[in-house]
A and B are shown apart, each in its own frame.
Chain A
Amino acid sequence: MGFKLPRSLAKGLALSLLVATASFGFTEGTDYVKLEKPIANADKTLIKVFSYDCPFCYKYEKAVTPVIVPKLPEGVTFRPFHLKTKGKYGETASQLLATLLIKDQDNGIKSVFDEHSQFKKAKMAYYNAYHDKKERWDAGADAFLETGLKASGLSKAEFDTAKEDPRVKALLAEWDQSYEVAKIQGVPAFVVNGKYLIKTASITSPDSMVELIKELLTK
């Protein structure tokens, strides 16, 4: 008789575990982690922390991000955060990309995947040069800047004035939060609502990533 209680307890426990895992397909720690220092003002967003000199960021740019972002629920914004601490010209890249993102806003371009987005043009030019052409800009930061300016069609003089815009500086200050996130598991780092960092190692397909993002958005 004495054995009955533990056994039924175990059965009940197993059953409830089964139900729990069936309804919540994702678990904290394996599929995502909660950020100790959340990114401020990031409700209803999917943030991607990236760097031009990260091969996996480029991979995600080609095969994942443009696939998942259109599948996000209505009202959720995708926001790219460039990480300035990685790469020899990380700071310059952040400055130019932040400036171009504000330019896009002013030009009424809503999506960073829009063909006319100057941000996208410069970003892809850096990815292409670094990863496909193995360009390392040994001539210095000016040569690096030139690649992005040329691709986006911005002149050096325009950039020098535009980068002083307080909105650009505010955006750069926001992007400075990237480092704390990148420290956890590297880049690319996807953060939902500024609170939940997706563990990219546990993702198996773009669809499962969308499912996880949807679930985290409701948390």
Chain B
Amino acid sequence: MNFFKSVWQEFKSCPIGAIAKWQDARFLWLVMAGASIFLILVAHTLFQHYVYMKPCEQCVYIRFAFLCMAIGGLVAAIDPKNIALKIIGYVFGFWGIIQGIIYSNKLNLIHHAAHSDNPFGVQGCSAEPRFPFGLPMDTWAPDWFKPTGDCGFDSPIVPDGTVLSGLQQFLVDFYADGWYLFPASHSVNMAQACLFAYIVCFILLGAMFASWIVKLIKTK
């Protein structure tokens, strides 16, 4: 309790100085890497394998964006005081977030077009996935990065003859119309939830970066 109090005191007395100090430590970088890895694992292990919700094209790009953030976080966490490692961390982090925002936004447009009678105004899915820099992620790790789901749809498709456990059956029914934060009202789809996550990351990483720059200028 006292620890949190002192952290809060430190933040209150000088927010920029406090954040600048924290981004010199491992903790925040590990949080970024951990959260990104956690989301990829949930998508792959829980939704794709356990609940049979196959990933669409934009969905695997979103995983890739989180992977970039995870790499950035881990590299910076090796030694956050090292300027080179820290810059790598920021570059990977921001780049992943920006890519993620673009992918999520596109997925949201596709989702709406696919769930309405007006398919105009968006590009559907490509014949083959194209990752940044031509990285063949889908051949390196097909189970993670090959799009196997339908464009704009993520409802569970259970293979014939599969015996589901009670919990699996519950989740399959729960997400029968696709993934929503609130499935009953079909509100906040996967794309919007991801967009929200990226925006939160952008604000946090942006604050870290800005505080660091301010501190650098001040100490000069």
**Residues of A participating in the B interface, judged by any CB pair closer than 8 Å:** 53-56, 59-60, 62-64, 83, 85-86, 131, 134, 136, 138-139, 179, 182-183, 185-188, 199-201, 203-205
Which residues from A are CB-within-8-Å of B159?
A: 136, 138
| Interface contact A59-B119, CB-CB below 8 Å | yes
A59 touches B123 (CB 8 A): no
**Distance, CA A205 to CA B121, complexed state (A):** 9
CA distance in complex: A205, B118 (Å): 8
Chain B residues with CB under 8 A of A131:
150
Secondary structure dominating the interface of A: loop
Contact of A185 among B118, B126, B157 (CB under 8 A): B126
Contact at A186–B126, with CB atoms within 8 Å? yes
Partner of A200, one of B118, B123, B128, B153: B123
Report the separation of the CA atoms of residues A186 and B151 in the bound assembly, to the nearest whole angstrom: 11
With a CB–CB cut-off of 8 A, which chain A residues contact B152?
A: 55-56
Task: Please provide the chain B residues from 143 to 172 with a CB less than 8 Å away from any CB of chain A in the complex.
Answer: 150-153, 155, 157, 159-161
4 A-B pairs closest in CB distance: A56-B124, A59-B119, A138-B160, A201-B123
Min CB–CB distance B58 → chain A (angstroms): 12
Residues of A within 8 A of B203 (CB): none
- C-alpha gap A56/B159 in the complex (Å): 23
Select which of A64, A86, A199 is within 8 A of B119 by beta carbon.
Answer: A64
Partner of A134 from the list B123, B126, B127, B155 (CB cut-off 8 Å) is B155
Contacts A134-B155, A139-B160 given: A54-B117 contact, CB under 8 Å?
no
5 A–B contacts, CB within 8 A, in A order = A56-B124, A56-B151, A63-B118, A63-B119, A201-B121
Taking Cβ atoms with an 8 Å cutoff, the residues of B that contact A are: 113-114, 117-128, 150-153, 155, 157, 159-161
* B117 near A183: Cβ-Cβ < 8 Å: no
Q: How far is the CA of A138 from the CA of B153 in the complex (A)?
A: 19
Instruction: Report the separation of the CA atoms of residues A128 and B156 in the bound assembly, to the nearest whole angstrom.
Output: 17
- Quote the shortest CB–CB distance from B156 to chain A (angstroms): 9
Cα–Cα, bound, A93→B118 (Å): 26
**Chain B residues within 8 Å of A55, by CB:** 114, 124, 150-153
Give the distance in Å from the alpha carbon of A188 to the alpha carbon of B151 in the complex: 12
Residue of B nearest to A61 (CB): B119
In this complex, the member of B120, B123, B128, B155 whose beta carbon has the largest number of chain A beta carbons within 10 angstroms is: B120
Task: Return chain B residues, CB-CB under 8 Å to A185.
Answer: 123, 126
A204 touches B151 (CB 8 A): no
CA distance A54 to B125 in the complex (A): 9
Query: Please, which residues of chain B bring their CB within 8 A of the CB of A200?
Result: 119-120, 122-124
Across-interface contacts of B160 in A (CB, < 8 A): 136, 138-139
The distance in angstroms between the C-alpha atoms of A134 and B125, with both chains bound, is 19
